[in-house]
């Protein structure tokens, strides 16, 4: 397993990470959000990227998700932990609770959702029924709970366009749709 961590608004550094290298990697899809930092956590090589840039200057709808994910493919990353700041919709999602969603609903628009740009000989469809990796989700939940934190693993993430926050009516609609949390960055990050 080769792991990458994508950090969001609140994660700029973390305990136990020893930086080894940092590099800017350009892509045919434009410039990624920031430099890719390679380091170690408990003797495991990990690649870290801040999706909003180190200075937090890239809004959710302006992140070049395609470039970010392309670099992870070049680096032969097999598993990605994407950390995001979200708001709770359902009562079980209290502030500061760890949530590892198992589903999502995409309310975004205008974001590049695929690497299939029409130049292929056929259209490629992906099965997105279960957008998150069960194996990694279970391992992550076990690690969080081992450290004494409560973790919710059955949750639907409603992904909004941003950067503005949602209206009361939009949150009510998402609640009716079955969303438990709301954030701005899981799509198209999860599908790419």
Residue ranges and CATH numbers for the domains of the chain are: 1-83 (no CATH), 87-192 (3.40.50.1580)
Distance between CA 126 and CA 148 in Å, rounded?
Answer: 37
What are the φ and ψ backbone dihedral angles of 91, each rounded to 5 degrees?
-65, -30
Query: What are the tens digits of pLDDT across the range 87-121?
Result: 999 999 988 889 999 999 999 999 988 888 777 66
Q: Is the pLDDT of residue 174 over 80?
A: yes
Q: Output the pTM of the full model.
A: 0.92
Distance between CA 15 and CA 69 in Å, rounded?
Answer: 24
The whole-number pLDDT of residue 42 equals: 87
pLDDT classification of 12: cutoffs 50, 70, 90: low
């Amino acid at each position: 397993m080769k792991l990458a961590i994508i950090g969001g608004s609140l994660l700029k550094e973390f305990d136990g990470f020893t930086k080894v290298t940092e590099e800017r990697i350009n892509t045919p899809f434009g410039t990624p959000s920031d430099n890719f930092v390679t380091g170690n956590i408990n003797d495991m090589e990990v690649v870290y990227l801040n999706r909003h840039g180190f200075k937090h200057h890239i809004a959710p709808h302006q992140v070049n998700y395609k470039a970010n994910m392309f670099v992870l493919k070049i680096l032969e990353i097999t598993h990605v932990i994407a950390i995001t700041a979200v708001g709770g919709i359902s009562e079980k999602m209290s502030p500061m609770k760890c949530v590892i969603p198992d589903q999502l609903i995409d309310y975004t628009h205008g974001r590049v959702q695929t690497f299939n740009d029409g130049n292929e000989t056929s259209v490629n469809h992906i099965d997105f029924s279960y957008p998150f990796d069960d194996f990694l989700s279970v391992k992550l939940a076990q690690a969080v709970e081992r450290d004494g934190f409560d973790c919710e693993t059955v949750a639907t993430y409603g992904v909004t366009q941003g950067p503005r926050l949602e209206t009361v009516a939009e949150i009510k609609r998402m609640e009716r749709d079955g969303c438990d949390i709301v954030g701005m960055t899981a799509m198209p990050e999860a599908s790419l």
